[in-house]
Amino acid sequence: MFRKILIANRGEIALRVLRAARELGVRTVVVYSEADESSLPVLLADEAICIGPAQASGSYLNVRNILAAALVTGCEAIHPGYGFLAENAEFAEMCEEHGLTFIGPRPDNIRRIGDKASARALAVEAGVPVTPGSAPLEDLAAARRFASEIGFPLILKASAGGGGRGMRVVQSMPDLERQFVNAQEEARAAFGNPELYMEKYIEEPKHIEIQLFGDGEGDVVHLFERDCSIQRRYQKVLEEGPSLLDPELRERIADAAVRLAEHIDYRGAGTCEFLVDRGGNFYFSEMNTRIQVEHPVTEMITGIDLVQEQLRVAAGNGLSFEQSQVEVEGHAIEVRINAEDPDHDFRPSAGRISDVHWPGGPGIRVDSHVYAGYRIPPNYDSMVAKIIAWAPTREEAIARMERALKETVIEGVKTTIPFHLKVLDNAFFRRGAVYTNFIARRMS
């Protein structure tokens, strides 16, 4: 196992990695921007180094400063968390060139499966179903030609990214002409790469993702699935597991995910995402080559610490479990608490948290980096906490989550807690009739 690692991220994921490392006896170095000087990961780390200004481009995306911080503090490895450099093959490669282990997939894994257009081609090679889609689009003229061949509705996606950035649903040719340049510019700003591709748009699907782990030597296991269908602007806001899918369909989707990961000798944690239509047909969407925001759902229903497993695999110790040892117990729901005002179109609500009280009791977990007196900077993602509820059944997990949210107090900023309570009280949600258009169609 490593003696010391650097955590190249911020917020709750930096704290999550710090805690996992500490339990394994691994010392931690946390890098931070000027805006995060008083954040909890910085205060709790064994060492902390400021690497730049509040702007992510000068700090959390500053490869030179991050590598220098790792080398000067004697780190052996870097954990990228999620977002920022987590799916950057060049960064993973530079880590290796400087004698540092990248706690994640090999650069070749990231490059081949992290690029969405390339991932589609690999899925086809592995016999995994995909929606009809284009190659990377050179320009608007190429997009028009593809749209004429396949027909509408279609969805534009950024080849290099995720999280809904650079993604646009288009319903007609005039709509495509309006959306194409906007999607390009958003992709360029978010990922430094304006390249787009296009797929047939599946209306009213479920968004199902399979949690995977590979040892890099061809052995891949799955840890079942999460239903991430409740989304706003392609950003997940509530996740749960297991899904309510038919067991036979669940097994076929998991087998397809494992087959794809085995096809590239995948190493570390990864997630295959699928769209499942009302007829039970499923289609590969993308593969995320990192730990997911919603990984606690899987941890709660399987009892496996995914972040510690990342460290073990990266250190060369292989997987600590076999497929036959992975079992699901109970049901878990995660909600993302954002500093946003749901009554005003989810307007960001940065500012100082004057008081905070987290829920407790059986089956409740809180992952958060904030505390009373902490000032939420306006420079980054607005998520301030994840609350996860586990119970023996889905109905009990819903009741437990409602209780937990009503116990939670966050004063000084607006949060999305009232919105989540409305979701949990929604009759369609309670009976599992949840699709990716749930918020638009079922929530006023």
What one-character-per-residue DSSP string does 321-347 give? S-GGG----SEEEEEEEESEEGGGTTE
Closest CA to 263 of 298, 212, 306, 310: 212
Through-space distance between the first and last CA atoms of the chain, rounded to whole angstroms: 51
pLDDT of residue 284: 96
Query: Which domains, ranges and CATH numbers included, belong to the chain?
Result: 4-103 (3.40.50.20), 132-200 (3.30.1490.20), 206-442 (3.30.470.20)
Is residue 260 within 8 A of residue 129, CB to CB? The reply is: no
CA dist., res. 336 & res. 1, Å (int): 32
The phi and psi torsions of 236 (rounded to 5 degrees) equal -70, 140
Mean pLDDT of the chain: 95
CA dist., res. 192 & res. 395, Å (int): 43
Give the CA angle between residues 407, 413, 415 to the nearest 5°: 55
CA dist., res. 427 & res. 9, Å (int): 38
* pLDDT at residue 163 is higher than 80: no
* pLDDT at residue 414 is higher than 80: yes
Question: Where is average pLDDT lowest: 25-29, 130-134, 351-355, 432-436?
Answer: 130-134
Taking only the tens place, the pLDDT of each residue in 219-266 is 999 999 999 999 998 899 999 999 999 999 999 999 999 999 999 999
Is residue 391 within 8 A of residue 407, CB to CB? The reply is: no
* pLDDT at residue 162 is higher than 70: no
Question: 194 vs 396, which has greater pLDDT?
Answer: 396
Exactly one of 10, 290, 312, 400 is catalytic; which is it? 290
- What average pLDDT does the segment 151-162 reach? 85
pLDDT of residue 59: 97
Residue 73 tokens read as 């503090």
* pLDDT at residue 58 is higher than 70: yes
What is the DSSP track for 79-92? E--SSTTTT-HHHH
**Quick check: is 352 catalytic?**
no
- Matching residue, tokens 């709790």: 44
Q: How far is CA 60 from CA 130, 289, 364, 381, 395, in A?
A: 34, 18, 31, 13, 40
Strands 4-7 and 77-79: parallel
The strand pairing partners of 209, in sequence order, are 226, 273
Q: How confident is the model at residue 122 (pLDDT cuts 50, 70, 90)?
A: very high
CA dist., res. 370 & res. 358, Å (int): 10
